[in-house]
Amino acid sequence: MAEWRKVIPEGRDRLQSRVLVWVVGLLLVALGAGNLTSIVFDILNVVFSHLAEPRLRCEVEAFVISLTFAVLVWALRAATPMAAFFGGIISLSLTLDTQSVDDRIGGGIFPLTALFVLTFLATKLGRKRKEKAGIAEARRGRTASQIIANLGFAPLALVLSNFLDHDIRYFLYLAVLIEATADTVSSEIGQAFGGTPILLTTFKEVPAGTDGAVSGLGTAAGIVGGLIVSTVGMWAMNLPISLAGFALTGGIGGFFFDSFVGATIERRGWLGNDLVNFCSTIFSVLIALGLVLLVRGTILQHPFVLV
């Protein structure tokens, strides 16, 4: 068994991760069940009335894509079976909820795929160096709590986006993916090739793997990764460059917030890495939303009127 290297007690860290899985995981399961129920009803509509064929075709495509995504992630040992299960639920929600009005497959699957490819490659690069230092990810892949911590807020951000103007819905979801990509790529590349990192709050050198530690190379790699996901999302979901820019700013802001919280609260043993990551994705959404509020003002579809 690998030596525990975190400041937070191992028991507390595991408890926080379990709570995250149970709370957010149940919400994701509920969303997935709702999507599957919709698919079943559309199948019945096709059988009895032939009125839902275009939508059903899109839903079946989304289901097949998500199932393939989950199986591939598990087969590549990028995630445990339970983590792959939650990844499939997240993929299904994102694919269906970014479906276009003409029933074409949702473009949200493309930035999610970009995230997976970038983080998978970053994890594999320099693995021997990370194993030698005792900071490499377990060979079984990411756990359910890690998947939920990094991606669990993405479908929830799309649910919240239902209250926003239709033309700006998807950028909140994109901000979550950008933050998750930047954080993972930065950590993996920095630990393997970034040399001795520094602590974000003191700028003093610390050992690789220290909570809140950053390196120049890792930070640059994370920003580039976020930029790639932002570009893919802008193309796939037909976002204007301004919204993609807001999402990128929010994602990168969340990425630096993650390092700051890691260097402060996490280093004191109050929060584990999973909760820090989850909070950072929420923070990225808040930044992106705040920027749009500053630029556009009212963005609610049905704003409250005070009389």
What's residue 307's pLDDT? 33
Angle between helices 53-75 and 81-97 (to 10 degrees): 150
Is the distance from CB of 208 to CB of 197 less than 8 angstroms?
yes
Looking at residue 141, its pLDDT comes to 82
The ranges assigned to domains in the chain are 10-296
Buried b (16+ CB within 10 A) or exposed e, 189-210: bbbbebeebbbbeeeeebebbb
* Structure tokens, 5: 């290297």
Give pLDDT, residue 256.
96
Q: For the chain (length 307 residues), average pLDDT per consecutive 10?
A: 72 92 92 81 61 67 88 91 94 82 66 95 85 71 93 90 75 95 94 88 87 92 97 91 94 96 92 95 95 76 44
Report pTM.
Answer: 0.89
Contacts of 270 by beta carbon, 8 Å cutoff, 6+ apart? 8
Q: 116-146: buried (b, 16+ CB within 10 Å) or exposed (e) per residue?
A: bebbbebbeebeeebeeeebbbeeebbbbbb
Sign of the C-alpha dihedral computed for residues 93, 63, 28 and 265 taken in this order: negative
Name the amino acid, one letter, at 37: T
pLDDT given at position 4: 67
Residue 158 to residue 161: CA distance in whole angstroms: 5
Say how far apart CA 217 and CA 187 lie, in whole Å: 10
